[in-house]
Amino acid sequence: MKNKAVNEIQDLQYFGEFGGVNPSISDSSTYTFLAAKSMMDTFEGTTEGCYLYSRHSSPSNLYLCEALAAMEGTEKANVAASGMGAITPTLFQLCGAGDHIVCSRTIYGGTYAFLKNFTPRFNISTSFVDITNLDIVESAITKKTKVLYCESVSNPLLEVADIPSLSKLAKKYNLTLVVDNTFSPLSITPKLLGADIVIHSLTKYINGTSDTVAGVMCGSKDFIDSLKNVNDGASMLLGPVMDSLRSASVLKNMRTLHIRMKKHSENALYLAQKFEQDGIRIMYPGLESHPQHTLYKSMYNAQFGFGGMLAFDAGTLEKADELMELMQEEKLGYLAVSLGFYKTLFNAPGSGTSSEIPENEQAAMGLSEGLIRFSIGLDNDIERTYINMKKCLVKVGLL
Ligand code: PLP
Sequence-separated (6 or more) residues with CB below 8 Å from residue 138? 169
- Tell me which of 3.90.1150.10, 3.40.50.300, 3.40.50.170, 3.50.50.60 is the CATH number of domain 257-395: 3.90.1150.10
**Whole-number pLDDT of residue 49:** 77
Residue ranges in 75-233 assigned as alpha helix (H): 84-94, 109-113, 134-140, 163-172, 221-227
Out of 47-56, 197-206, 269-278, 331-340, which region has the weakest mean confidence (pLDDT)? 47-56
Judge contact between 355 and 373, C-beta under 8 A. no
Check pocket membership of 182 for ligand 1, CB cut-off 6 A: yes
In tens, the pLDDT along 67-125 reads 999 999 999 999 999 999 999 999 999 999 999 999 999 999 999 999 999 999 999 99
Taking CA 134 as the corner, what is the angle to CA 129 and CA 135, rounded to the nearest 5 degrees?
Answer: 90
- Residue 15 Cα to ligand 1 middle (Å): 31
**Whole-number pLDDT of residue 4:** 62
What average pLDDT score do residues 209-233 get? 97
Residue whose CA lies nearest to ligand 1 atom number 5: 108
**Whole-number pLDDT of residue 312:** 95
In tens, the pLDDT along 288-298 reads 999 999 999 99
Judge contact between 215 and 89, C-beta under 8 A. no
- Residue 125 Cα to ligand 1 middle (Å): 21
For residue 367, name the pLDDT band (cuts at 50, 70, 90).
Answer: confident
What average pLDDT score do residues 185-207 get? 98
Q: How many Å from the N-terminal Cα to the C-terminal Cα in the chain?
A: 38
Check pocket membership of 180 for ligand 1, CB cut-off 6 A: yes
Check pocket membership of 110 for ligand 1, CB cut-off 6 A: yes
Around Cβ 226, how many Cβ atoms within 10 Å? 17
Out of 2-6, 68-72, 255-259, 367-371, which region has the weakest mean confidence (pLDDT)? 2-6
Higher pLDDT, residue 4 or 49: 49
For residue 261, name the pLDDT band (cuts at 50, 70, 90).
Answer: very high
- Give CA–CA dist 323/54, Å, rounded: 46
- Residue 337 Cα to ligand 1 middle (Å): 10
Please check the confidence at residue 381 and state whether its pLDDT lies above 70.
Answer: yes
Please check the confidence at residue 1 and state whether its pLDDT lies above 60.
Answer: no
- Every domain of the chain and the residues it spans: 2-254, 257-395
For the chain, where are the E strands, in sequence order?
A: 76-80, 100-104, 125-129, 145-151, 176-180, 197-201, 215-219, 282-283, 309-313, 334-335, 345-347, 371-375
Q: DSSP letter string over 239-287? A: --PPPHHHHHHHHHHHTTHHHHHHHHHHHHHHHHHHHHHTT--EE-TTS
CA-to-CA dists, residue 293 to 42, 158, 164, angstroms:
49, 11, 15
Please check the confidence at residue 27 and state whether its pLDDT lies above 80.
Answer: yes
Domains 2-254 and 257-395 alike in fold:
no
Which of 36, 81, 32 has the alpha carbon at shortest distance from 52? 32
- Give CA–CA dist 146/311, Å, rounded: 33
Higher pLDDT, residue 378 or 18: 378
CATH code given to domain 2-254: 3.40.640.10
Sequence-separated (6 or more) residues with CB below 8 Å from residue 69? 75, 76, 77, 218
Ligand 1 atom at shortest distance from the alpha carbon of 338 = 8
Sequence-separated (6 or more) residues with CB below 8 Å from residue 174? none
| Sheet with 371-375: strands ordered across | 282-283, 309-313, 371-375, 345-347, 334-335
CA atoms within a 13 Å half-sphere pointing along the CA-CB vector of 385: 21
In tens, the pLDDT along 140-183 reads 999 999 999 999 999 888 999 999 999 999 999 999 999 999 99
**Whole-number pLDDT of residue 48:** 72
CA-to-CA dists, residue 105 to 1, 112, 294, angstroms:
28, 8, 22
Supply the pTM of this predicted model. 0.96
Higher pLDDT, residue 249 or 15: 249
- Give CA–CA dist 116/102, Å, rounded: 12
Percentage of residues of the chain with pLDDT beyond 70:
98
**Whole-number pLDDT of residue 356:** 78
Residue whose CA lies nearest to ligand 1 atom number 15: 83
- Residue 182 Cα to ligand 1 middle (Å): 7
**Whole-number pLDDT of residue 2:** 53
In tens, the pLDDT along 316-330 reads 999 999 999 999 999
Ligand 1 atom at shortest distance from the alpha carbon of 353 = 8
